[in-house]
Structure 1
Amino acid sequence: MTQLSRAQITTKPATRSSRGIVAAQHRLAAEVGAEVLAAGGNAVDAAVAVSFAIGVVEPWMSGPAGGGAMMLDMAGTGPEALYYGMRAPAGLNPADFPLTGEKATGDLFPWKAVVEDRNVIGATAVAVPGVVDGIGKAHARYGRMPWAELIAPAVKLAKEGIEADWYVALLIASSTRVLARDPDAAARFLEDGQWPTVANWTALSDKRIDMSSMAPSLQAIADEGARALYDGDLGAALAADVEAKGGSLRRADLQAYQAVWQQARAVPYRDATLWVTPHLTAGPTISDVFSQLSTGFTPGQAPDAAAYAAYAEACDAAYAARLANDGDMGNDDPRAPSCTTHFSIVDAEGNMVAMTQTLLSIFGSRVVSPSTGLLLNNGIMWFDPEQGRPNSLAGGKRCLMNVCPVLGAAGDRKFAIGASGGRKIMPAVAQLASFLTDFGMGLDAAFHQPRIDASGDTVIADDTLPASVIESLEMRGPVVTARRAPFPYAFACPAGVLRDGAENYGATEIMSPWGEAVAG
């Protein structure tokens, strides 16, 4: 992993405002959401606008053809969870995913390898998407502004395309070989089979990735409503494209899909309360972590060696329970690129949304639907292709996700946080919540505080942590040190908002080149 110079210090101050704030992995999407807040929209209105906008400007992480979950805290209702995870198509046949007998390499999960990587790459890896129905249900219950008005900025961004800066070129270069397998994905993201030429250093050129084929689909969703992708001609076209490319998704799968409102799980923790998603996410896992932490250490003035050792122990125990009960093997590869996107929103009235959405792998299945212009998920990879396991692949089965949006309250402060980064998400969110509640940190300090990743057999520790912390961690098992860097991510990529009295704060991962918290 390329290291930054030790003399190079990166900071990204938190945004403070008495108005609403959107913290997202892409500045343009955060600005779209902030404009909605400024126009009188609430946190859910802003979430709708950000969801569609970020699916255009950061399409390799999420989009309308993905899935996820959100936590909401709207005035008068209390915390709620909304699950819109992906589902295996009903007609999927596990026999179509024969094992090679070897362990898979090169992606997020250490399942046994499937012939031709059919569960990872291509139309055979596509699951039933849930994002659009999920945000449609949230808007129907809480939205103030017209649905079509909230999607209009995403349509505009799709027509404009994505600036091909250094980060875009880097991400596309990391997936060039697999993108080249699908003619429609290659036409979208590659130039003559290679990654795109970067806009030159004078900043006078306007090299862009053409996203215009998404615009008609987004406009159809704006005009016809969220169910256009499920019950309408748009959904029929999407299903036909997947079938033509050899996948098992059918129109009936889309028509049967419904996002689900859930009762948030309350997690009492010392003098605070956290609320998490209750099922098929990392919500139950982080609940286990805080159960362990409640007796695992006594907070001092700042996180010390005992605190970080407790974080590692709690994550180990929680993941052991997750493996035994749910079968999610997770991501043990520290080199795996961050995928998924998370954004957190607080409005001027104190309403909050923590929303995570994903295609699963970076660029999902690496397949573009030619009729809709949508980059498709590879949700089938979430399932263990070996039969007889708790999370084994089966038709119609719901995917078990690593997403972990969290709401929290401690005294007069409340917050909404989450992250992207596969299995790295939960440890990052747990530590941030601990920084805020156990140590009374502000959002700025919490996001700059060094973290560890305890999501696998080896702990990855920020190399700026004191030697005493590293030594404490090494006493319990293998440790690798790494510097927070723009790519690849050794740690998760969080975004969060905090309300303290009448003041709001927002922050994103300090090393995210695009992440920004923008006031509305």
Structure 2
Amino acid sequence: MNVRTPTQIVRKPAVASSGGIVAAQSGLAAEVGAEVLAAGGDAVDAAVATSFALGVVEPWMSGPAGGGTMIVWREAEQRAYSIDYGMRSPAALDPADYPLSGQGLASDLFPWKAVVGDRNVEGAGAVAVPGVVDGIGQAHARFGTMPWRDLLAPAAALARRGLEVDWYAALMLASATRALSRDVDAAALFLDDGQWPPLASTTPLAERRIVNDAMAATLDRLGELGFREFYDGEVGRQLAADIAAKGGSLSFGDLRAYRASLTAIERTPYRGGGFYLPPALTAGPAFADVFSQLSQTLAPAADGPGPASYAALADALASAYARRLAVDGDNEAPHSPACTTHFSVVDRAGNMVAMTQTLLSVFGARVVSPGTGLLLNNGIMWFDPEPGHANSLAPGKRCLMNVCPVIGETGTARFAIGASGGRKIMPAIAQLSSFLVDNAMSLEAAFHQPRIDVSGGATVIADAALPAEVILALSDRHRVVTAPRTVYPHSFACPVGVMRQAGENFGASEIMSPWADAVAEPAPPPE
């Protein structure tokens, strides 16, 4: 509900199906994944297709030149796996190339000391070694059932058809127009005479499309030659050459050396269920910290979370983030804009995937590789440019991320959830998990339930729709500011998720996200 217009209520019903479901921040990408399920693919097959489709239809959030983490549940094995495909700094990176300017703080997500020319934020010098293609490729090699080329073909077709620019796409492009205009290839792809939308145009906005033939050709080549072509073949060679030509330190050798890690993981128990979490260098350890506290401080309540529940959540989140910041040195601004994407998949057999991928900032480094058509990440910004800290910039170093894909169990149901939103991700996923486990909510009810954000700052951000007694309980121990749940700007994370209970599947997405949706696999035609 928008507090400025209290007569309006926004609802987005969950999708229910006996077949598989894909929930994503782009309904168009979710449709691609659902079609794979209908063609007989499993959850990992659908994840491959959805991942590459998102890089085309939601380019400001993620793409093949990014990184992230996924959790895979294999129903037949009753086993979960984590695949870490986070970015890494290039081996030849020299911290001396990122001198502090002495001019305040960085211009983007992190309150690091500013670097001369924002070299760690924007441009080829901000590009880290990407991991998405190797991560999703390893998952497919281990668990997939459909031919790899068939799973990349829909994304290539989308790139040739072009991204339709509606009001939301135009908003995202307008938010980064100045930065995109500084790279000739990014400007050529996304802008029109350095502007978006053009001031003088007779073309209706809804009929405008961003066509990326170079990306389509790259996806075709990866489909034919396999995922390691991105690292060992001509695609990797071209990508490295483009980055070097623009002044970055990433080399072909960095790409050839990159390997994602795939490991079996154990359940972190919680009450009658538990969670399968991503390991270190993600928000998984902080999530586990939260539920270790909640097991002692939060009493389950079938009638939903009340003032005591929200107070316990706020205390646990604040404590977990205080420990994370002290140990890991993660200093991302707590209310930075969402700049990541997440999707979740469940197939008709009960296999699940929770996958988060990112370019880091909105539009990443705001640089496009002309030879591959790929928008590049700015993963170097994850590191503190000031030496001597836990997360200081160094060559060949793994990035610390805030991603938190989770597969959880309530005792009677299993769910896969995740979100975009930087440091807001973990608090959102922890609360949704608590609603599902501690309050036995349906997936639809949990996604409509108002949330709070406690992500390392001194202030609790509370949904303005929360009852006055909840705000009062939070105010007893924290400074509280209320904010509406809106499309933009984002005071809270943007989650999506799926659930399986008693043989039926459900999917839900953030109610205020205009593109996010859950899509069930189409029913087979009647015989």
Confirm or deny a common fold (TM above 0.5).
yes
Contact 1:64/1:374 (<8 A) preserved:
yes
Secondary structure at the residue paired with 2:111? coil
The C-alpha deviation readout for 1:115-174, integer Å capped at 9, x for no partner, is 111111111000000000000000000111000000000000000111110001101111
The C-alpha deviation readout for 1:459-508, integer Å capped at 9, x for no partner, is 11100001111122222222221111111211100010000011000001
1:501–1:203 CA distance, 2 compared to 1 (3 A): farther
Match of 1:303 among 299, 302, 305: 305
Q: Which residue of structure 2 aligns with residue 403 of structure 1?
A: 403
Q: Which residue of structure 1 aligns with residue 108 of structure 2?
A: 107
For residues 133 and 172 of structure 1, what CA distance do their matches in structure 2 show? Answer: 28
The one-letter amino acid of 2:517's match is E
Number of equivalent positions: 517
1:103–1:436 CA distance, 2 compared to 1 (3 A): farther
Q: Does 1:325 align with 2:327?
A: yes
Q: Which residue of structure 1 aligns with residue 284 of structure 2?
A: 283
For residues 139 and 45 of structure 2, what CA distance do their matches in structure 1 show? Answer: 9
Contact 2:3/2:464 (<8 A) preserved:
no
Contact 2:3/2:465 (<8 A) preserved:
no
The C-alpha deviation readout for 1:198-248, integer Å capped at 9, x for no partner, is 999997962112222210111111011001110000100000010010111
Structure 2 stretches lacking a partner, 5+ long: 522-527
Secondary structure at the residue paired with 2:8? coil
Which stretch of structure 1 is more off in the superposition, 18-27 or 72-81? 72-81
5 Å-filtered alignment, 1:220-239, equals: 220-239=221-240
5 Å-filtered alignment, 1:65-76, equals: 65-76=65-76
Contact 1:198/1:207 (<8 A) preserved:
no
Q: Which residue of structure 2 aligns with residue 509 of structure 1?
A: 510
Structure 1 stretches lacking a partner, 5+ long: none
Secondary structure at the residue paired with 1:69? strand
1:205–1:257 CA distance, 2 compared to 1 (3 A): closer
Q: Which residue of structure 2 aligns with residue 55 of structure 1?
A: 55
For residues 235 and 177 of structure 2, what CA distance do their matches in structure 1 show? Answer: 28
Contact 1:74/1:352 (<8 A) preserved:
yes
Contact 2:495/2:509 (<8 A) preserved:
yes
1:245–1:350 CA distance, 2 compared to 1 (3 A): same
Secondary structure at the residue paired with 1:80? strand
Which stretch of structure 1 is more off in the superposition, 252-261 or 317-326? 317-326
Contact 1:67/1:86 (<8 A) preserved:
yes
1:56–1:205 CA distance, 2 compared to 1 (3 A): closer
Q: Which residue of structure 2 aligns with residue 441 of structure 1?
A: 441
For residues 170 and 396 of structure 1, what CA distance do their matches in structure 2 show? Answer: 36
Q: Which residue of structure 2 aligns with residue 256 of structure 1?
A: 257
For residues 11 and 106 of structure 1, what CA distance do their matches in structure 2 show? Answer: 36
Deviation at 1:313, TM superposition (A): 1.0
Which stretch of structure 1 is more off in the superposition, 459-468 or 290-299? 290-299
Contact 1:166/1:198 (<8 A) preserved:
no
Question: Aligned Cα RMSD in Å?
Answer: 1.7
Secondary structure at the residue paired with 2:196? coil
For residues 418 and 450 of structure 1, what CA distance do their matches in structure 2 show? Answer: 17
5 Å-filtered alignment, 1:326-341, equals: 326-332=328-334, 334=335, 336-341=336-341
Q: Which residue of structure 1 aligns with residue 418 of structure 2?
A: 418
1:90–1:504 CA distance, 2 compared to 1 (3 A): same
Deviation at 1:319, TM superposition (A): 1.0
Contact 1:164/1:196 (<8 A) preserved:
no
Secondary structure at the residue paired with 1:436? helix
Q: Does 1:357 align with 2:357?
A: yes
The C-alpha deviation readout for 1:47-66, integer Å capped at 9, x for no partner, is 00000001100011000000
For residues 519 and 275 of structure 2, what CA distance do their matches in structure 1 show? Answer: 25
Deviation at 1:14, TM superposition (A): 0.3
5 Å-filtered alignment, 1:351-500, equals: 351-455=351-455, 456-500=457-501
Contact 2:278/2:404 (<8 A) preserved:
yes
For residues 144 and 204 of structure 2, what CA distance do their matches in structure 1 show? Answer: 39
Q: Which residue of structure 2 aligns with residue 12 of structure 1?
A: 12
5 Å-filtered alignment, 1:137-156, equals: 137-156=138-157
The TM-score normalised by the length of structure 1 is: 0.97
5 Å-filtered alignment, 1:190-205, equals: 190-197=191-198
Deviation at 1:262, TM superposition (A): 2.5
5 Å-filtered alignment, 1:82-121, equals: 82-121=83-122
Q: Which residue of structure 1 aligns with residue 241 of structure 2?
A: 240
Contact 2:266/2:276 (<8 A) preserved:
yes
Contact 1:44/1:139 (<8 A) preserved:
yes
For residues 414 and 199 of structure 1, what CA distance do their matches in structure 2 show? Answer: 52
Contact 1:17/1:519 (<8 A) preserved:
yes
The TM-score normalised by the length of structure 2 is: 0.96
The C-alpha deviation readout for 1:64-110, integer Å capped at 9, x for no partner, is 00000000001233011000000000000011111123442542111
